[in-house]
């Protein structure tokens, strides 16, 4: 590990010199690449240098213990030895995590797709709750939310919705949300006060750029039609809604939120590109599954991952057996406590595989 850390530190120093050279600055593509690499390995180098400072402090303190010291000074030095040793242990564990292979998608924006499952109107209402929850979480992180397509019912619930969350590290925090979310509560339409169980499916897809997925428009059928909805001014009177079909995979994406046919087509293609990219990621994950049994971050979309129990005001994540008794705050976007547990568990599993 330390040979690798020394190599990274040397590389960091070389890049630091190169990015200030006029000939490198003149080549903007190369300069941007070096700046990105410098920023990526910077936290590793900073932590490694903290480790080395603690190591040096430990060495100096141990040397002092060999000198003639009074009892009070010897006690202070022993405390410094203990403190430095503890820091080295902590920094060492943090370095192991920093050196884990990075998910290349972690810094990407995400496209979140939410669909009501079992439960009819109640599932659609809970899908709306989840959409608000992720939107509020995005606000807390100062990320931007953009609706790509939506299909609502007459009660204000959401049959299905696709929206983008754009911001640094969005995928790294939200990728653990893919799966089936179960809600247990008394629906507003229930006159007997009985608790119903409904499900909603969430898919979190890293935004795919053109370099990730090259769309062959000869393999895509584009149909236009008049948008439909619950009525009112939101329903267009022109054929502006767009449906794109990817013939090789059979994936169909429809968008009708915009009044412009061109904008709806653009949004549909963004969703299609993300789904195709996700298909490739799933294929790679299946190939690696024999070697990696833990799939905290890339779980099967049919897996029930979380239960929201309203009568007990609790949220339970079944993958990490974590329960939070703050349902209202959680649904208001306070996901950080659960997210940190999921990230820590994922890192621990990866460390096991590396050792």
Instruction: Write out pLDDT tens, residues 190-248.
Output: 667 788 889 999 999 888 876 677 788 888 888 887 766 544 444 445 567 888 888 88
Do residue 159 and residue 304 come from a single domain? yes
Do residue 84 and residue 167 come from a single domain? no
| Distance in angstroms (rounded) separating the CA atoms of residues 209 and 126 | 31
Do residue 212 and residue 89 come from a single domain? no
Answer whether residue 354 shows pLDDT above 90: no
Do residue 230 and residue 274 come from a single domain? yes
| Distance in angstroms (rounded) separating the CA atoms of residues 233 and 321 | 46
| Residue 302 falls inside a structural domain | yes
| Residue 250 falls inside a structural domain | yes
Q: Which of 71, 98, 125 is the last residue of a domain?
A: 98
Per-residue pLDDT, averaged over 91-116, amounts to 85
Do residue 144 and residue 272 come from a single domain? yes
Q: Which of 98, 126, 142 is the last residue of a domain?
A: 98
Which structural domain, as residue segments, surrounds residue 47?
2-98
| Residue 104 falls inside a structural domain | no
* The pLDDT of residue 194: 83
| Residue 327 falls inside a structural domain | yes
| Residue 103 falls inside a structural domain | no
Do residue 151 and residue 242 come from a single domain? yes
* The pLDDT of residue 40: 84
* The pLDDT of residue 292: 44
Residue 110 forms beta bridges with which residues?
Answer: 165, 206
Do residue 125 and residue 84 come from a single domain? no
Answer whether residue 254 shows pLDDT above 90: no
* The pLDDT of residue 101: 75
Confidence of residue 346 (pLDDT cuts 50, 70, 90): confident
Pick the closest to residue 249 from 208, 205, 283, 203 (CA basis). Answer: 283
Confidence of residue 72 (pLDDT cuts 50, 70, 90): confident
Do residue 41 and residue 157 come from a single domain? no
| Distance in angstroms (rounded) separating the CA atoms of residues 141 and 143 | 5
């Amino acid at each position: 590990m330390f040979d690798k850390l020394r190599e990274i530190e040397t590389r960091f120093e070389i890049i630091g010199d190169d990015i200030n050279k006029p000939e490198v600055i003149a080549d903007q593509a190369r300069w941007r690449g070096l700046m990105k690499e410098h920023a990526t390995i910077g936290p590793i180098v900073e932590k490694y240098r903290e480790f080395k400072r603690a190591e040096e402090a430990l060495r100096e303190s141990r040397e002092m213990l060999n000198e003639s010291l009074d009892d009070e000074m010897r006690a202070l030095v022993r405390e410094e030895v203990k403190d430095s040793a503890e820091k080295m242990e902590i920094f060492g564990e943090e370095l192991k995590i920093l050196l884990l292979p990075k998910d290349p998608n972690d810094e990407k924006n995400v496209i979140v797709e939410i669909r009501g499952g079992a439960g009819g109107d109640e599932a659609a209402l809970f899908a709306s709750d989840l959409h608000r929850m992720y939107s509020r979480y995005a606000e807390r992180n100062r990320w931007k939310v953009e609706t790509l397509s939506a299909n609502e019912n007459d009660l204000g619930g959401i049959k299905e919705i696709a929206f983008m969350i754009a911001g640094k590290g969005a995928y790294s925090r939200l990728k653990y949300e893919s799966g089936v979310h179960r809600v247990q509560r008394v629906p507003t339409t229930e006159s007997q006060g009985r608790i119903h169980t409904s499900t909603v499916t969430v898919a979190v897809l890293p935004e795919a750029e053109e370099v990730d997925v090259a769309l062959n428009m000869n393999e895509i059928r584009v149909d236009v039609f008049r948008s439909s909805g619950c009525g009112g001014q939101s329903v267009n009177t022109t054929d502006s809604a767009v449906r794109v079909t990817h013939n090789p995979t059979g994936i169909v994406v429809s968008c009708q939120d915009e009044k412009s046919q061109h904008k709806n087509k653009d949004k549909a293609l963004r969703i299609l590109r993300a789904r195709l990219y996700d298909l490739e990621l799933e294929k790679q994950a299946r190939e690696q599954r024999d070697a990696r049994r833990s799939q905290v971050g890339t779980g099967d979309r049919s897996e029930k991952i979380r239960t929201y129990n309203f009568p007990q005001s609790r949220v339970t994540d079944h993958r990490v057996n974590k329960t939070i008794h703050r349902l209202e705050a959680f649904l208001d976007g306070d996901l950080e406590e659960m997210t940190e547990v999921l990230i820590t568990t994922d890192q621990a599993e990866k460390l096991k595989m590396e050792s």
